[in-house]
Amino acid sequence: MPLLRFDVIEGRDEKSLQLLLDTAHKAMVEAFGVPERDRYQIVHQHPANELMIQDTGLGFQRTKDLVIISITSKTRTESQKEKLYALLAEKLEAECGISPEDLMVSITENGDADWSFGLGEAQFLNGKL
């Protein structure tokens, strides 16, 4: 159920982009304990000047590899979220060569009634999920 929006700078080839999505999904499955096919990812590729991402004084070096992930999810615990951030950073570096300084994540929570995965049904309300 989490819906992930990836904003990146254009220039990756298809294979690299796919690897990025696959890797992020592995982190999600492990951190939030969602089923393998609970996968909902949207990518936006931008010219560099459409992303103005600084660092609140934390001293990060952002590069063209920058990945911003905006997640909509039902409620998760602090420790699940911390695990997600850590796993995303670890796996994206190991699998995709993306620096942990190039990763930003933001989460917004919603509830059971706020999801319909198909058929016009609310699957968290009607017992199908």
Q: Which residues are catalytic?
A: 2
- How far apart, in whole angstroms, are the C-alpha atoms of residue 118 and residue 95? 32
- Which residue from 16, 63, 104, 127 is in contact with its own copies, where contact means CB under 8 A? 104
- Which residue from 16, 19, 26, 129 is in contact with its own copies, where contact means CB under 8 A? 129
Helix or strand (DSSP H, E) at 43? strand 40-46
Quick check: 26 binds its own copies (CB under 8 A)?
A: no
Using CB under 8 A as the binding criterion, the count of chain residues that bind its own copies stands at: 68
Quick check: 19 binds its own copies (CB under 8 A)?
A: no
CA 25 to chain centre: 8
Contacts of 29 (CB under 8 A, 6+ apart): 35, 36, 38
- Which residue from 16, 19, 95, 101 is in contact with its own copies, where contact means CB under 8 A? 101
